[in-house]
Structure 1
């Protein structure tokens, strides 16, 4: 499987099982955490949703979406009927998931307005959805806590990654220096042009010396924004050690034939899924 890589990091593992291609992260694999990030490959959806669309809100046949969830679950290693789905709104609300929540979003309606999920209970697969935004994955091996946060530009400005770290510190006693984390496939700096309004939001929350690290000023009111670097700064400043952090080198927009990208498709696309299960 030939992906276009944004750099020489190669910290994303490409997996294939029964025709389903998904991505994993070395440090989480080494820690023994069941997780994966879907691609477009291996599902049954058609047209611009082909083939592994994992959203019920993009106009797809619900039965095909259910089959896609079943296939990706079988490939990664969880039972799709137990999934807990997020219902994301680019905010910073975190939901603690327990066994009673199994099936939320799959067999019944899910709680709205959630951009992060977390649990310390085994056997509860969790799902967050993407099509250019940044998936953040977390695992605390000491307290056996796993979770994910959806971090688009709004979530990044709001530093949802740091809020997630603070949340599991408070709720589970997690220590940031023990957390294993990953920044997953999303749009890269070269592909992500933003305007002055978005750039100004970042200038308000990042230090002046950090701005050149996360943003290139093109001089015409346009900027190239690096959400990977911005989230790396957020997570390491929250106490996560660099040696415990995998940062992807796969851009959704550069690989829009294999990954759904909102920008590359001008909104005509399905959704990718990120999954974790203890």
Structure 2
């Protein structure tokens, strides 16, 4: 079993990757279930920037963090801009963006840390969560792999930043590629397809398929191929394979929900060394 959904309580679920050792880090991908937000953000919306009531989002964050044994007041989260900036965060950044979107790490689409007990959180609604764990040097990270970030190779840049900051080696890294819009539903225009052909020499072979005469992009495979090319072993990468557009009753989907919707989150925190 690679990626699986685990019921915690009160219709709150954790999406998890079996490859991540629980004694090194705690992690989860949220679903849209088990929260207090009203439609169209129903119900476990974890984003403060989409128009939902802030009190509801904060209650959702508290519930989700608590379900992982984490303190919601210490969450670190960025202002995601579909770029390729990777920020190294420390214990001094605890709480950045936790209760106020204006206080988030600015214009950043990936976070990495080696600070124990520091919950990293990024938000998604069709874009690809990419979660990293280096159990050897006890470091972790999350990247926001939308189509722009994927074309900019944000997964490889996050891995490189972990190497620079913590000495992480690609052969040691475990990576989970989370639920996002799948190749079944991610129809794109010619401009986006062209960007992928420019970024990946093998795009037509692996990443782009033609359905109904229109190109469809496979973000999962694009990020997996990036990581393989950077030296991450195939056995160290797990792909959830869950399409948020097809399964938008479980996950928020910008496309399926017509543009006004909440956000799931990917969260990871290192456990303190014993």
For residues 49 and 132 of structure 2, what CA distance do their matches in structure 1 show?
27
Which residues in structure 2 correspond to 1:1-278 (within 5 Å)?
11-19=2-10, 20-29=12-21, 32-108=24-100, 109-207=103-201, 209-218=202-211, 220=213, 222-278=214-270
1:172, distance to aligned residue in structure 2 (A): 1.3
Name the CA distance, whole Å, in 1 between partners of 2:211 and 2:98: 44
What is the CA distance between 1:218 and its match in structure 2? 4.1
How far residue 86 of structure 1 moved from its aligned partner, in angstroms, is 1.4
Q: Secondary structure at the match of 2:255?
A: helix
SS of residue matched to 1:45 = coil
In structure 1, distance between residues paired with 2:89 and 2:218: 31
| 2:256 aligned counterpart, secondary structure | helix
Residue 84 of structure 1 aligns to a residue whose secondary structure is coil
In 2, are the aligned partners of 1:31 and 1:141 still within 8 Å (CA)?
no
Matched position secondary structure for 2:6: strand
How far off is 1:56 after superposition? 1.2
1:219 is displaced (CA, Å) by 7.3
Q: Is the contact between residue 58 and residue 99 of structure 2 (CA under 8 Å) also seen in structure 1?
A: no
CA contact (8 A) 2:88 2:165 kept: no
Q: Work out whether residues 12 and 250 of structure 1, in 8 Å CA contact, stay in contact via their aligned partners in 2.
A: no
CA 1:31 to 1:204, structure 2 compared with 1: closer, same or farther past 3 Å? farther
Using the size of structure 1 for normalisation, the TM-score is 0.93
Question: Which string of whole-angstrom CA distances, capped at 9 and with x for unpartnered residues, describes residues 220-248 of structure 1?
Answer: 4x201100011110011111101111111
Give ranges in structure 1 of 5+ residues lacking alignment: 1-9
Off by >6 Å, runs of 4+ in structure 1? none
The Cα shift of 1:78 comes to 0.9
User: Does the CA contact (< 8 Å) of 1:39 and 1:272 recur in 2?
Assistant: yes
- TM-score, structure 2 length as denominator? 0.94
How many angstroms does 1:77 deviate by?
Answer: 2.2
What is the alpha-carbon distance in structure 2 between the residues aligned to residue 91 and residue 105 of structure 1?
Answer: 18
Gaps of 5+ in 2: none
C-alpha offsets along residues 102-156 of structure 1, whole Å, 9 cap, x if unaligned?
A: 1111245112101000100101001000000001111111111000100100001
User: Contact 1:11 / 1:249 at 8 angstroms: preserved in 2?
Assistant: no
